[in-house]
Amino acid sequence: MDVPVLRLERLTKQFYEGVLQRAIFSDINLDILSGQFSILTGPSGSGKSTLLNLISGIEPPTSGKIIVDGIELTALSEKRRTLFRRHQVGMVFQSFNLIPTLSVSENLMLPLDLTGVSRKEAKLRVIETLDRVGLADRSNSFPEQLSGGEQQRVAITRALVHDPTLVLADEPTGNLDSDNAHQIMGIFKNLVKDEGKTLIVVTHRSDMEPLADRVFHLEDGNITETFVNMGVNVEGT
Amino acid sequence: MKRTLLLVSFRYLLGHPLHTCLSMIGICLGVAVVVAIDLSNYSAKAAFALSTDAIAGKATHFISGDAGELSEEIYRKLRFDFSALGIAPIIESGPIESVQESSTDNPIVSRRWTLVGVDPLAEQPFRSYLDSKDLNVIGRLMYEANTVLMARQSAYKSNLNLDDKLTLNIGGENKSVKVVGWITPDNSVSKVATADLIISDISTAQELLRSKGLISRIDLIIPKGKSGTQIVDIISNSLPDNVNLLPSSSRSESVTQLTNAFELNLTALSLLTLLVGSFLIYNTVTFSVVRRRNLIGILRAIGVTRSEIFMGIVVEAFILGLVSTAIGIGLGIVLAHQVIDIVTQNINDHFFQLVVEELIISYFGFFKAAILGVGITVVASIVPAYEATVVSPGSAISRLSFEIGFSRLLPKLTLLGLAISGVGCGVLLFPSKNIILGFVGLFGLVIGLALIVLVSTNAGLSLTRRMSSLRFSITSLFAIKLLAGSVSRISLAIAALSMAVSLTVGIGVMVQSFRLTVDHWLETSLGRGIYVSPDSMSLTRFDSIISPEVLVRLKNIEGVTKTTAVRHLMVDTVLGPSHLVVADTDFESFNRPAKFKKGNPRELWEEFNNSDIVLISEPFAYHKQLTIGDSFAMLTDYGYKEFRVAGIQYDYSSSSGIITVSKQTYGEYWQDKKVSSVRLHVSPSQGIDSLIEEIYESTQNIQPLQIRSNDVLRKSALEVFDRSFTITSVMRYIAVLVALIGVVGALMALQLERAREYGIAGVIGFIPLQIRKVVMLQTSLIGLLAGLFSLPIGIILAYGLVHVVNERSFGWSMELYISYKVLFEAILISLVGSILAGVYPAIKISRSSLSSQLSEE
């Protein structure tokens, strides 16, 4: 039996809004296997981004466990969680979140610098990765000089360049037009196919769901699996 | 630190030049002031030591008399007994003015000189700047009357050539000397130190200075080791009681100690300016953190740890501090060139005569400034660096929750502020004479009160918010609500500004109190009349006398009803050399209770004239720890004699203090009939100005004199006083400037954080003018609150300066006078300054596009 690369056990998250306490979700259980492409959907405010933050170690849960690649994230200190995220997680955001004062190649050097890769090897990896996404000629450009699609491709490359275990993407196509959006989702699909990355993408776009191996729906504090791409549609034929 | 993270910081700093400059200005200015004061103090001390050491040359020891001079017989005996030792006599004058002569084509320029008389044949082992190979020059020096040597460069500046004559005013008399050769110093230190020397043969100097048979000291070169120690013992034992053998190094120490308190006060005030600069750093680093919250969030999301974020901000601050300090040091050197003249003038006015030809650079001083500048920048960045570490990328901490967090901190901050104020107060009031402790207490008190301002700001804004239920306009309401919602940002800007403005209040009240006290004392001490003294006389230079012929003329001038003379001289006492004043006074002038801190003049009058009692000034009593009933011995012409302290008087003319005896008592123990200055009592109907004119006409050919009415003398004394506080006034305003720049930074941070609110206001109909009004109202409120808070802090600061620091520094007590003008000025500076500081942020925010203000980050 495959050991899941990500396991959530009775995960609960509550927030303070001013002085009031609100539960975002309660007792979530989830297993994701290595090399699976999962999509997470749900209405606004359902806690999708929060769930990604918990999985990446950005925030701790109120209760429950998060186990990634055998490491119990919830038992780690804040610093250890950050170091875990540095080495094991790649993050992609809706608004790209490239460092505006660094060039494309410098943005990609950043995670390699953080993970202690030598400068020589880092340069080689950056060139190779940019080449794969068709941006080799833009290595010295700054983010403001790139189109939205190009920026997101750079952001995806940044998320992958240090070879993380898990890639998390929060509405990566939210600021893109349809063509670019499909292109980006295609890149994600290829990642899983070619490199066996474990990928979780949050998106509102239902037309992207067929690309995924699994689709989860988060609403009213509960998570349900609505689609499994094993040739069988859970909710339909 | 990771290379790419450093690159992120660098690129940010370079990409935001205005912000970067704002960050640097406070530290630049603060360091510049510290360096300027430090360099000036150092140069003044070094100039004095250089001139002393250059004259001492290779001398290891010197012999001097307690009264400042000794018989040349002592030299002759030593020369005979210790013929193998290097022994040289020296006679040295105080500063002497040369007389401007404009009758020739190349007019001789007047300047100050020091006359040094030497034995040219004994000089060679000690000082090399006498070129003893030139026997012709040595011969002329020894055998021609009134011949001198000087530095070639100084002669050139005064338009003097070889064989030119120079007229010197010595003790009120003009005496002519001839330049027959040059001093040839062989290094730059000696060049500087000998620039104002005139060297003559010792007998020439004795004649010019009317010190026949006397010398100032004897220089010796005594070998080191056991034999040297034996020689020291033998010589010491052979000297008369009032003559001492001392190491050369002790010569400058005792004199420069006089200026320690003065220099410490200046240094402390310059440090306060730097402290205000540190608030500016806090504000601008905070602004940069606010501005880069998104960037910090991204970095945290991709795995940068909190400690790396923290170190990044601190390293940025370190680099900023390094660059700012370097610029500040450069600026400080430039400023020092202006300040040195003021400092030297102050030293001349109050302590001793000093000529500083040029600024002397102290690399240790630069090192100190660097440590301070960089250190304070790093320390000031720690809190905003910590704030940066709590930025979460996932759901950025909302403004509201941050403000709630800050609100929860307020009680702790209040307690901390109270604790620090309490400790500062305790240290300040602890009975001690230590000035540094006084300043530490004062600093602690001010910092503690600044923390309490943080809390008070919250209360002030809450009160204003409550008051907004009254009929305020929509722009006013909007301004108040925005401000009240950003109390964490604004309160520190207000605290910094109120601290800087409180400095102006504190120093302003102190200076006003001092001035009024001195003015009142002058009014009490100076009766109506005309005051006559030699032209070269001042508070620190009173060896000049009025010539007897002038005295006769003065007594015979019509309209003068009486003359009372005063003698000023230095005497040796068991407490050290002291300023003695011989008062020829009448009962009416003596019987002024306001002049006496202790003792009743009416009861003392009889005793003052007929017994061995003295009056001492307040600083003298403070420094020597004397009170009424104590006795001490003074060296008279008949040896040491005990005198009892019968009264303590207020006196603000000398910070080292004076001793006053009656003319009768002086006449009994000293054989000196000289007069230093005279007061001419004038009949009420006599016009003073016309009398002054008459006196001038009848004495101008005999001796140059200062002839002033009591009003003019009072005015001139107050001018000296005002000069003394020039530097502190400059520092006051620099501190306020730095704080106002901090207000600009705080406002810009506030506007950035509230950009969305302004955007919404714009969307619902606020025109740009209304937006600008909102910002200006906010700045006005900031200025008003800061101004109001500065008043109690400033008054407390003034109390500490007047009753603790000043008393410990100089021994002077004075009344605290709170001038409404100073208080009003403080509020005005704070309000107007803040309004001006708000102009740029107001324009910037009103011109920002609505869409950018409303867009998600």
* Domain architecture of chain A: domains with CATH: 6-230 (3.40.50.300)
Q: Is B304 on the interface with A (CB under 8 A)?
A: yes
Nearest Cβ partner for B394 among A58, A82, A114: A58
List, in sequence order, every residue forming a beta bridge with B678; answer none if it has no partner: B532, B565
pLDDT of residue B51: 62
Residue B614 has pLDDT above 90, yes or no: yes
Q: What is the pLDDT of residues B165-185, one digit of tens each?
A: 988 888 777 889 999 998 877
Q: Which amino acid appears at position B442 of this protein?
A: L
Interface residue of B11, B19, B302, B855 to substitute, partner A, most A CBs within 10 Å: B302
> Where does B540-641 have alpha helices with state H?
548-555, 587-590, 601-610, 618-624
Residue B337: exposure state from Cβ atoms within 10 A (0-12, 13-18, ≥19)? middle
**Across the interface, which of B12, B394, B401 has its CB nearest the CB of A101?**
B12
Indicate the pairing of strand A222-228 with strand A214-219.
Answer: antiparallel
pLDDT, residue B526, reads 80
Compare CB distances from A110 to B4, B11, B404 and report the shortest one's residue: B4
d(CA B67, CA B571): 6
Written as six digits, the tokens of B189 are 């230190």
Q: Give the closest of B2, B12, B298 to A114, CB-based.
A: B2
CB atoms B305 and A83 under 8 Å? yes
Q: At what angle do helices B487-525 and B435-467 cross, to 10 degrees?
A: 130
What whole-number distance in Å separates Cα of residue B765 and Cα of residue B49?
72
Contact call for residues B578 and B659 (beta carbons, < 8 A): yes
The whole-angstrom separation of Cα A162 and Cα A118 is 12
Residue B85, token pair as written in the block: 């030792």
Q: Which two tokens stand for residue B602?
A: 């009416």
The more confident residue out of B105 and B599 is B599
What is the sign of the dihedral through the CA atoms of B831, B833, B836 and B838? Answer: negative
Mean pLDDT of B328-352: 79
Shortest CB distance from A109 goes to which of B4, B12, B295?
B4
Q: What pLDDT score does B202 carry? A: 92
**B211, pLDDT greater than 50:** yes
Beta strand B243-247 with B61-65 is antiparallel
B402 CB neighbours in chain A (<8 A) are: none
Q: Does the structure show a pLDDT above 90 at B722? A: no
In the stretch 81-140 of chain B, residues with CB closer than 8 A to chain A read none
What φ, ψ does residue A37 adopt, rounded to 5°? -105, 110
Q: Which tens digits make up the pLDDT trace of B149-162?
A: 998 888 888 888 88
Sort out which chain A residues have CB atoms less than 8 A from B302's CB and list them.
Answer: 85-86, 91, 110-111, 114, 158
Q: What is the per-residue pLDDT for B397?
A: 35
pLDDT at B103: 55
Give the model's pLDDT for residue A89. 92
Return the structure tokens found at B137: 């020059």
Task: Please list every residue in chain B whose beta carbon sits closer than 8 Å to the beta carbon of residue A82.
Answer: 300, 303-306
**Packing angle, helices B435-467 and B260-291, rounded to 10:** 40
Quick check: B398 pLDDT over 50? no
Judged by average pLDDT, the poorest of B305-309, B340-344, B566-570 is B340-344
- Cα distance from B413 to chain A (closest Cα, Å)? 22
Q: What's phi and psi for A135, nearest 5 deg?
A: -125, 25
Decide if pLDDT at B399 tops 50.
no
Q: Smallest Cβ distance to B2: which of A15, A95, A113?
A: A113
- In tens, the pLDDT along B465-490 reads 676 666 677 778 778 877 777 776 67
Q: How near does any CA of chain A get to the CA of B7, in Å?
A: 8
**Mean pLDDT of all residues in B664-683:** 87
Give the three-class secondary structure for B709: strand
pLDDT of residue B837: 81
Phi-psi map region of B813: left, alpha, beta (phi>0 left; psi -120 to 50 alpha): beta
Bridge partner residues of B643 (DSSP): B632
Q: How many CB pairs under 8 A join A and B?
A: 86
Pairwise CA distance, residues B290 & B299, whole Å: 15
Residue B265 contacts residue B802 (beta carbons within 8 Å)? no
| B585 contacts: CB under 8 Å, gap ≥ 6 | B564, B662, B663
Q: Which residues contact B486 (CB under 8 A, 6 or more apart)?
A: B399, B403, B750, B753, B754
- pLDDT-above-70 percentage for chain B: 87
pLDDT tens profile A114-138: 998 998 999 999 998 888 888 889 9
For B296, nearest residue in chain A (alpha carbons): A99
Mean pLDDT of chain A: 86
A164: closest chain B residue by CA: B302
**Packed helices B3-15 and B306-350: angle between N→C axes, nearest 10 degrees:** 50
| Structure confidence by residue, pLDDT tens digits, B400-415 | 444 555 666 677 778 8
Q: For residues B504 and B768, is the Cβ–Cβ distance under 8 A?
A: no
pLDDT in tens, B30-56: 888 888 888 887 887 777 666 666 666
What is the average pLDDT value for chain B, to the nearest integer?
Answer: 81
Which residues of chain A make contact with B4, given a CB cutoff of 8 A?
102, 106, 109-110, 113-114
- Which pLDDT band holds residue B632 (cuts at 50, 70, 90)? very high
Average pLDDT over every residue of B602-631:
90
Helix, strand, or coil here: B221?
strand
Query: Sorting pLDDT into bands at 50, 70 and 90, what band is B18?
Result: confident
Question: Given A79, A87, A95, which is nearest B306 (Cβ)?
Answer: A79
B852 in contact with A at a CB cutoff of 8 Å?
no
> Are the CB atoms for B505 and B793 separated by under 8 Å?
yes
Cβ-Cβ contacts under 8 Å for B698 (sequence gap 6 or more) = B553, B557
Pick the residue from chain A with its C-alpha nearest to B13: A101
pLDDT, tens digit (0-9, with 9 covering 90-100), for B61-76: 889 875 567 888 999 9
CB atoms inside a 10 Å sphere around CB A79 = 12
Distances (CA, A) of B568 to B112, B208, B478: 21, 21, 70
Kindly report the nearest CA distance between residue A104 and chain B, in angstroms. Answer: 13
Position B147 confidence tier, pLDDT thresholds 50, 70, 90:
very high
**Chain B nearest C-alpha distance from A169 (Å):** 12
B294, B304, B393 ranked by CB distance to A114: nearest: B304
Tell me which residues of chain B, numbers 345 to 404, contact chain A at a CB-CB cutoff of 8 Å.
392-395, 400-401, 404
Does A103 contact B at CB distance below 8 Å?
A: no
Nearest to B645 by CA among B700, B588, B607: B607
A187 touches chain B (CB under 8 A): no
Residues A130 and B253: their CA atoms lie apart, in Å, by 73
Q: How much is the average pLDDT of B757-786?
A: 83
pLDDT tens track for A65-89:
999 988 999 999 888 888 999 999 9
What pLDDT, on the 0 to 100 scale, is given for residue B254?
A: 53
Q: CB B525: neighbour CB atoms within 10 A?
A: 19
A78 in B contact zone (CB under 8 Å): yes
Joined together, the tokens standing for residue B476 give 């006013």
Task: Looking at the complex, report in whole angstroms how far the Cα of residue B512 sits from the nearest Cα belonging to chain A.
Answer: 51
Name chain B contacts of A59, Cβ cutoff 8 Å. Answer: 392, 394-395
CA dist., res. B424 & res. B444, Å (int):
4
Taking CB atoms and an 8 Å limit, are B394 and A79 in contact across chains?
A: no
Q: pLDDT band for B323, please (50, 70, 90 cuts).
A: very high
Could you give the dihedral angle defined by the CA atoms of residues A199, A202, A205 and A208, in that order, rounded to the nearest 10 degrees?
10
Nearest chain A CA: its distance from B14 CA (Å): 10
Please tell me the least confidently modeled range out of B293-297, B307-311, B639-643: B293-297
Q: How far apart are CA B55 and CA B35, in angstroms?
A: 29
* Burial class of residue B820, CB neighbours in 10 A (0-12, 13-18, 19+): exposed
Q: Which of the 8 DSSP states describes residue B804?
A: I
Average pLDDT, integer, range B88-104: 75
Which residue among A50, A86, A158 places its CB closest to the CB of B394?
A50
Mean pLDDT of B390-400: 51
Looking at this predicted complex, what is its ipTM?
0.85
Alpha helices in B614-658 (DSSP H): 618-624
Yes or no: say if B58 and B125 are a contact pair by the CB < 8 Å rule: yes
Give me the phi and psi of B96, to 5 degrees please. Answer: -125, 135
Taking the CA of residue B649 as centre, how many other CA atoms within 13 Å lie in the half-sphere pointing to its CB? 26
